[in-house]
Amino acid sequence: MLGEKSYKALFIEDSPADIYLTKTMIGIDNIPIEAHFIKNAPKALEYLAQLSDDEFPEIIITDVNMPMMNGYEFVEIYREQFHNRHKNTLVFISSSSIRREDQKLIERLRIVKGYFEKPFSLEAFQNYIQKALKVPVTAAA
């Protein structure tokens, strides 16, 4: 991993269990990610607003069901405030919901690159995060 590019990722997640699982997934596969975790969407928007272009994450994954502001609302505000300046940032939505209404909302949010169900497996993590960042998939020990 020495000399590899380190990717910046923002995870917007209010569940301690899901945060722990995500940190574990990153550690298992030795993905070169500088992961930042924020527990709600308003704080995530504040965080993004104070970043320079060089500090801005390459990937953002937001949960859908959160207090104060849900993931869809976050994506709409993100699109209005940040997307034009950071078109290469990949935005994903994660949720434990598989309702058809959720799928329709995601289809309307054109900047969202994908949706995955929680809790996600190592395979889902590899499919969405590693492939999106074009990081080689390694076999877990």
Q: What confidence tens digit (pLDDT) does each residue in 102-118 have?
A: 666 666 677 888 777 77
Question: From the centroid of its chain, how far is CA 125?
Answer: 11
**What is the rounded CA–CA span in Å between residue 134 and residue 44?**
25
Over residues 58-91, the pLDDT tens digits come to 999 999 888 889 988 999 999 999 999 999 999 9
Please state which of the ranges 37-51, 53-67, 107-121 shows the lowest mean pLDDT. Answer: 107-121
Q: What is the pTM of this model?
A: 0.84
Going along the chain from its start, the domains and CATH numbers come out as: 15-60+70-133 (3.40.50.2300)
Is the pLDDT confidence value at 1 over 50?
Answer: no
